[in-house]
Each structure stands twice: as C-alpha cells, then as structure tokens.
C-alpha cells in the first residue's frame, strides 16, 4: 500500500429521509476533500437510515439507483472515494444492508452484509460474497456491524490482500463511552491478528423511529494500537493518515505477523 489519508464520519441518519441524509453526506464529503482525504467512510445505511422493522422496505433502493448516482456526482466533484451504505432492494424484493464503493470515475462495487444480527434476520437477506476493493493504492475489505464478531471473515479478507478493513456500524443502545469500550474488546484483535488497519464508525443520535445511536469511531493500526477514536453524540469527522510503514513494520516482523504461520490443514471445524 501507499500512505493514504482517510476521513471517517460519525453522523445522524433519520430513517427514510434519504434526500436529507444525502445532503449531509455531501457536507461531509466536501469537508473531507478540504482536508485532502482520498477516501471517506460513512456509517452503515447512512443514506437511507437503518431499522430492524419491515418499514425499511419503504426506503430501500436498487443498486445502482438514485443514491448511487448522487454519490457518483459527489465523488467526481471532490475527487475522492466514498464508502456509504443504503438499504438495497434486490431480486424478488429481498432487502440487503449494503455498502457502496464509489470512486471518482464511478460506482466500483458493493458489499452486502453477510452476518445478520438476530433482530435483523426477519427483515434482511444475507449477502454471499467476500469482495475486496482498491482505491488509490489501498486494498480494503468492508464489513457491517455484526460482521465484525466473526474472526474468519477478517482473516479471509486479509488473505485476499486487504491492507485495511472498514467496518461501518448502525449499532444502537449504549452511551458512547460504553459502546467504545465494547468495540475495544474485539476490533483491535481483528487488526492485530491479521496485520491490517481497522476503521470503524457508527451512526449517532435519534433516527426518528425509536432507535438512538451512540456516536463512536476508531482507527486501529496493524499493531492493534488505536490511532484515533471518538465517543460523543455530535456529528464528527476523524481525518487519519494510514501509513505504509506501520503496515510494513508489522508484516516484516516474523514474530508480529501471524498469517504466514496459519495451519489451515488442521482446522476441521
């Protein structure tokens, strides 16, 4: 990889207010561009809003569709890559929690959430692919919220060449400090065990339909050390440089880079 400046956004996303949410995305994208970031990541389903109720079907969009076209315009205008999520409606009216990768030259692909939390399983359909993406010399994977609790997924992305994993969340409940403490129990392990950067962000505030989200964000180095974090209820953007030497320092150390010493031949579970 090469040094990459990223922006990580924590923002409110009222359910069904897609035009308003896209306007907020435009605001943050402009701010990220002003800070010379080459990539900006938004929380899970930031464009449409999030819910575990079938009402989400009323706001779901096809991909590509109107939200994708709006994001393409923003990415081209500000010359950066946007990672932003929507409720996607697919074949046979299946609903997916989907995160989009939109580069300055256009839509580059999508990730559909693979591991659905128990409350989501009656509403959403799980994805079935583990793609990795590339932007400005950075190879990265995407996961969504509950996905991060399954270590095999992070390892699979690392084995596919990912130097970073972005993990947008729409995780309601606890206050920001408690949510940050919860993330500290597992997200640094995903970075440390796989020798890559992990970047996570959550929605914040009331979604207008009974869910409230604590604003949390963090960026973790391949060493497992936290580079930057945020906990609060306001909209916020972190700007962080992912440095190539932080990656090479870990992967060049035979005692700190674990993937080459895996024994998949004995894992029969």
Q: What percent of the chain has pLDDT over 90?
A: 98
pLDDT for 61: 96
| pLDDT tens-digit map of 199-233 | 999 999 999 999 999 999 999 999 999 999 999 99
106 found inside a domain: yes
185 found inside a domain: yes
Beta strand 215-220 with 197-202: parallel, antiparallel or unpaired? antiparallel
167 found inside a domain: yes
* pLDDT level of residue 91 (50, 70, 90 thresholds): very high
Residue 269 predicted with pLDDT over 80: no
pLDDT for 160: 98
Which range marks the domain in which residue 80 is found?
A: 4-259
CATH number at residue 19: 3.60.110.10
Mean pLDDT of 228-246: 97
138 found inside a domain: yes
> Which tokens go with 117?
């939390």
SS (H, E, C) the chain: CCCEEEEEEECCCCCCCHHHHHHHHHHHHHHHHHCCCCEEECCCCCCCCCCCCHHHHHCCECCCCHHHHHHHHHHHHHCCEEEEEEEEECHHHCEEEEEEEEECCEEEEEEECCCCCHHHCCCCCCCCCCCEEEECCEEEEECCHHHHHCHHHHHHHHHCCCCEEEEEECCCCCCHHHHHHHHHCCHHHHHHHHCCEEEEEECCEECCCCCEECEEEEEECCCCCEEEEEEECCCEEEEEEECHHHHHHHHCCCCCCCHHHCCHHHCCC
Mean pLDDT of 172-198: 96
Mean pLDDT of 93-115: 97
Could you identify the residue written with the tokens 């969504």? 144
Residue 262 predicted with pLDDT over 90: yes
188 found inside a domain: yes
C-beta neighbour count of 177 within 10 angstroms: 12
267 found inside a domain: no
88 found inside a domain: yes
Residue 103 predicted with pLDDT over 90: yes
268 found inside a domain: no
| pLDDT tens-digit map of 145-179 | 999 999 999 999 999 999 999 999 999 987 999 99
How many domains does one find in the chain?
Answer: 1
Mean pLDDT of 40-56: 96
């Amino acid at each position: 990889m090469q040094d990459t400046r990223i922006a990580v956004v924590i923002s409110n996303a009222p359910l069904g207010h897609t035009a308003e949410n896209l306007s907020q995305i435009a605001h943050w994208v402009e701010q990220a561009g002003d800070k010379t970031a080459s990539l900006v990541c938004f929380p899970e389903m930031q464009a449409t809003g999030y819910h575990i109720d079938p009402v989400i079907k009323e706001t779901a969009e096809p991909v590509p569709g109107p939200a994708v076209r709006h994001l393409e315009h923003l990415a081209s205008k500000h010359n950066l890559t946007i990672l932003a999520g929507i409720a996607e409606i697919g074949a046979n009216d299946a609903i997916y929690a989907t995160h989009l990768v939109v580069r300055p030259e256009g839509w580059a692909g999508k990730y559909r959430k693979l591991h659905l939390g128990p409350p989501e399983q009656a509403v959403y359909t799980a994805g079935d692919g583990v793609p990795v993406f590339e932007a400005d010399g950075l190879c990265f994977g995407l996961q969504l919220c509950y996905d991060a609790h399954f270590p095999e997924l992070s390892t699979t992305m690392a084995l596919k060449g990912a130097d970073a994993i972005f993990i947008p969340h729409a995780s309601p409940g606890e206050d920001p400090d408690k949510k940050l403490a919860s993330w500290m129990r597992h997200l640094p392990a995903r970075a440390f065990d796989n020798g890559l950067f992990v970047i996570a962000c959550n929605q914040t505030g009331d979604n207008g339909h009974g869910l409230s989200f604590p604003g949390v964000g963090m960026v973790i180095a391949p060493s497992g050390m936290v580079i930057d974090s945020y906990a609060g209820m306001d909209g916020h953007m972190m700007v962080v440089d992912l440095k190539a030497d932080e990656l090479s320092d870990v992967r060049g150390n035979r005692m700190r880079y674990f993937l080459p010493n895996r024994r998949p031949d004995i894992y029969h579970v």
